[in-house]
Each structure stands twice: as C-alpha cells, then as structure tokens.
C-alpha cells in the first residue's frame, strides 16, 4: 500500500502531526498504532492537567485524546489499529503486522516517528532481594487500575519522584489503598512541583528525599522492602540507616526512555543525552524525509508542548512531500553548558524559522533566580531571566529569530547564569 505520509504511533504526537500535514494539503496519510485505539499514554492518564495551552482549558488525558480523535475522524486519515511497525527500510518502506492481515508493507514518501517512550524497569536499576510478584512499573500499574479496572495492591511503596509515581500515589489512596511513602533518590522532586502538592501534600503522603529502596523481599508476593538513606551528593547508601517496611506492592517510577528501536535499526542518529533522534528546526531526523516528535524525541511533561512540536513535524513533512523544504545553508548547532543537559532542536537554519523560535531544554540541577544566556563565538546574543528552574520542568525558551540572522554553520552556546554573578 502506498501513502504520502505514514505516521508511526497514534498518541497525541502522531495524531497532531497527521492532522497538521492533512491541513497542509497532504490527504494520503496513514497512522499505524499498535494499541486497539488511538490516544497513546493519554488514555490511562485519567487525571486532569492537560490542554491549558492548546485548548485554554484543563482537560483529563482521555478528554485531550478524544478531541484529537474527533478531529481526525472528519478527515481521510487512515488508521491501522492493533498494528505494529516492525521495521523501517532506507527507501521508506515500513514492515507492519497485525492479527488479521499478517505481515505487510506500507510505502511512504515521508515518515513521522511518534512512538512515545517506555519505562525503565527493575532490571534497569538493580535492586537486591527476591523476585516476588507485586513489583510493577508505575505506568503498568496505571494501566491496570485506569484501563483494566484492577487494583494492584493494598499497602504500597513507590520508588521515584517522577510525575507518574506521584500521580499513582494519589490514585491508590483514592481507591482505598495505603501508600507508605514515595521514596526519592534525589534531594528534590523529579516531577512537577504542582504534583508534589496536589498528589502528595493534599493526601498526606510523605516523600522521603535522599532515600532508596535497597531490597525487595517475599516468597510469592512482596512481603517487605528495605529502605536506606543515601548521600545527598553521591547517592551512595549510608550504611546502618536501613529500615524494613511491610508492604505487598512496590511501584517503580524510575524514568522514561524514548522508544527508539526502529530509529536505531534504520541508522538514524540518536542524541545520547535525550536518547532520541537528533532533529532540526523542522523536526527532521538525520534521515531525509523522516521526522520525529513528542516523547520519542525527548521526554515531555506537558502534552501541550508535544502537540506544538508535532504540528511542526507534520507541517514540515507536508512541505517535504511537496518539495518545498529548503536546505541551502549549513545548520547552526547548539552547545549547552553550565547546568543545561540538552536543547531541542539540536540544529537549525535561521531562514527556516518564523519570527519566534522555541527552544526546549532541561537543566540537570535546581536553580533559583537566573539567566539563560545565548552566545555565539563569545558574543552574547540574548539573556533571558528565569525565576526558578528544576530538572522536573521542561524549559521553553522563546527567542526572536532575528538574533540568529544570517548565521550558518555556527556553534550557538546556551548556558545558565545564576543571578548573583552579575
């Protein structure tokens, strides 16, 4: 089967990219989604907190997904549901599989990668002890409770201060379970401050900072865990601080990793910091005509930003199919320092930017009042005041594109400068 555009993944990123391409004149579009329905991770995120930027109201995950599903229904965009993409070839042929048609091929002029991310598991972090049942990733627990309607346990301890862990702590308490604590290896929350307040504080669930679960024990089901304090800097366990807690369930919320097996197989360049493809201002990857957006590029905490980024990918995929993408100059690349861990896009051509340029980034530690400073060859191009930066909250820095006017092949520096220094 031939399509102009094939989108891999039917989450918010895939749907927004497909819709935007459609609205830019591309009518032959397929979305391939391995789940039985579109919506991605949003279908299990039943809490509210989505859509304030895009829809100007606060929606739950399923409501946000429903709006996009409804919008795609009025189009000719074709869904292949319950269908998984197994492989992408250099000539943009996708090998896909489902239970009805078996293995078949889709040929595309352009591809958008929107596979989202997956969770790190226990084996990825190495906790000692037995291998009883009752240990779940927080996302798997979220799916059991919110989609399958199954409670995961009665007395729960959660490792990891990311958003999913905090949201699940509240969810379990609302459903009548007990949450002993959320155990955080870091000395600050990895998720949004707002979630510390509305998920933990409002429900009297303690957060134990600078602690770790060092052992999980039980014959068939989890019976107890051992929690120890760890050093604030090195995160090494402090001997003699171990304490035992009886519980029947452990949730691990220890981070998300972009799902890039397909991207790697076809040889797309991956950034080691984000674990996602290296992208241009058009959200194009190192493989021409293959675009990427959403959590597959870098882990987002706000779906609104996913939607914006995906619209950009969809629009540029449409331009590419119509032969209207220009690449006449050497792109400039970002080099981050001083507490920033990455910036997306990784490279850009100023002539392809609108009036304003959104740069998404994260810091690797907490900052109070500070400046984000943009430089080129020692010259300062812009300085932007920020009241507070934390690794748990993605930074969207909007700069006037004019500051990069005429630049090509340059290395653009971005750094954090605490206010005291100036």
Ligand X SMILES: Cc1cc2nc3c(=O)[nH]c(=O)nc-3n(C[C@H](O)[C@H](O)[C@H](O)COP(=O)(O)OP(=O)(O)OC[C@H]3O[C@@H](n4cnc5c(N)ncnc54)[C@H](O)[C@@H]3O)c2cc1C
In the complex, minimum distance from the CB of residue 265 to ligand X, in angstroms, rounded to a whole number: 11
Q: Which of ligand X, another protein, none interacts with 66 (beta carbon under 5 to 8 A by kind)?
A: another protein
Q: Which of another protein, ligand X, none interacts with 197 (beta carbon under 5 to 8 A by kind)?
A: another protein
Pair type for strands 29-32 and 2-8: parallel
d(CA 128, CA 182): 19
Closest CA relative to residue 1, chosen from 71, 98, 113 = 98
- Among residues 126 and 176, whose Cβ is nearest to another protein? 176
Q: Which of ligand X, another protein, none interacts with 194 (beta carbon under 5 to 8 A by kind)?
A: another protein
- Axis-axis angle for helices 303-321, 12-23 (nearest 10): 40
Would you count residue 295 as binding ligand X (CB under 6 A)? yes
Among 74, 76, 91, 148, indicate the residue that binds another protein (CB under 8 A): 148
d(CA 10, CA 113): 10
- Among residues 36 and 272, whose Cβ is nearest to ligand X? 36
Q: String of b and e for 402-421 (b: at least 16 CB within 10 Å)?
A: eebeebeeeebbbbbeeeee
Residue written as token pair 């429900």: 203
Collapsed DSSP state (helix, strand, coil) of residue 37: coil
Among 7, 21, 30, 32, indicate the residue that binds ligand X (CB under 6 A): 32
d(CA 149, CA 50): 22
- Tell which positions 322-361 bind ligand X, by CB under 6 A: none
Q: Is the peptide bond before 345 cis (omega within 30 degrees of 0)?
A: yes
In the complex, minimum distance from the CB of residue 220 to ligand X, in angstroms, rounded to a whole number: 28
In the complex, minimum distance from the CB of residue 72 to another protein, in angstroms, rounded to a whole number: 14
**Max intra-chain CA distance, the chain:** 66
Q: How many CB atoms lie within 10 A of CB 322?
A: 14
Among 63, 178, 271, 304, indicate the residue that binds ligand X (CB under 6 A): 304
Per-residue interface string for the shown chain with another protein, residues 150-169, x marking contact by CB under 8 A: --------------------
Would you count residue 210 as binding another protein (CB under 8 A)? no
Q: Which of another protein, ligand X, none interacts with 43 (beta carbon under 5 to 8 A by kind)?
A: another protein
HSE (side-chain half, CA atoms, 13 Å) at 218: 20
Contact of 119 with 139, CB cutoff 8 Å: yes
Among 27, 107, 154, 194, indicate the residue that binds another protein (CB under 8 A): 194
Among 29, 85, 166, 343, indicate the residue that binds ligand X (CB under 6 A): 85
Closest CA relative to residue 258, chosen from 304, 293, 295 = 295
Among 43, 161, 253, 285, indicate the residue that binds another protein (CB under 8 A): 43
Which residues of the shown chain bind another protein in the complex (CB under 8 A)? 36-37, 43, 46-49, 52, 58-63, 65-66, 145-149, 171, 174-176, 192-194, 196-198, 202, 301-302, 388, 393
Which residues of the shown chain bind ligand X in the complex (CB under 6 A)? 8-14, 32-35, 40-42, 45, 47, 49-50, 84-85, 114-116, 139, 142, 163-164, 167, 259, 262, 294-296, 300-304, 306
């Amino acid at each position: 089967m031939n399509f102009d555009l094939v989108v891999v993944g039917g989450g918010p990123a895939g749907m927004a990219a497909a819709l935007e391409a459609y609205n830019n004149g591309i009518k032959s579009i397929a979305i391939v989604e391995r789940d039985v329905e579109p919506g991605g991770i949003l279908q299990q995120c039943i809490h509210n907190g989505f859509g304030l930027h895009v829809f100007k109201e606060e929606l739950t995950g399923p409501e946000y997904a429903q709006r996009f599903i409804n919008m795609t229904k009025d189009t000719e965009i074709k869904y292949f549901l319950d269908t998984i993409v197994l492989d992408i070839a250099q000539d943009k042929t996708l090998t896909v599989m489902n239970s009805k048609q078996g293995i078949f091929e889709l040929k595309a002029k352009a591809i958008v990668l929107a596979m989202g991310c997956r969770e790190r598991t226990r084996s990825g972090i190495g906790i000692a002890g037995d291998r009883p049942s009752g240990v779940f990733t927080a996302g798997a627990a979220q799916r059991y409770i919110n989609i399958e309607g199954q409670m995961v346990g009665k007395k729960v301890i959660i490792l990891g201060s990311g958003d999913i862990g905090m949201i699940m702590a509240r969810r379990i308490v609302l459903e009548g379970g007990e949450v002993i604590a959320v155990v955080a290896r870091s000395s600050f929350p990895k998720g949004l401050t707002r979630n510390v307040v509305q998920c933990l504080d409002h429900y009297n669930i303690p957060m134990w900072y600078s602690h770790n679960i060092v052992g999980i024990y039980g014959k068939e089901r989890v019976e107890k865990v051992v929690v120890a304090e760890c050093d604030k800097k090195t995160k090494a366990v402090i001997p003699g601080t171990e304490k035992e807690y009886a519980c029947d369930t452990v949730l691990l919320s220890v981070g998300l990793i972009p799902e890039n097996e397909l991207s790697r197989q076809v040889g797309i360049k991956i950034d080691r910091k984000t674990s996602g493809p290296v992208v241009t201002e058009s959200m194009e990857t190192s493989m021409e005509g293959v675009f990427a957006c959403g959590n597959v590029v870098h882990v987002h905490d706000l779906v609104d930003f996913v939607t914006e980024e995906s619209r950009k990918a969809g629009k540029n995929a449409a331009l590419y199919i119509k032969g209207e993408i220009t690449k006449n100059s050497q792109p400039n690349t970002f080099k981050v320092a001083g507490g920033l861990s990455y910036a997306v896009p990784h490279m850009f051509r100023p002539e392809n930017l609108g009036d304003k340029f959104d740069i998404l980034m994260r810091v690797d530690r907490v900052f109070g009042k500070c400046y984000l400073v943009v430089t080129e060859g020692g010259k300062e191009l812009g300085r932007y005041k920020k009241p507070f930066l934390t690794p748990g909250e993605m930074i969207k820095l909007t700069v006037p594109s004019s500051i990069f006017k005429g630049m090509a092949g340059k290395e653009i520096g971005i750094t954090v400068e605490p206010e005291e220094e100036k």
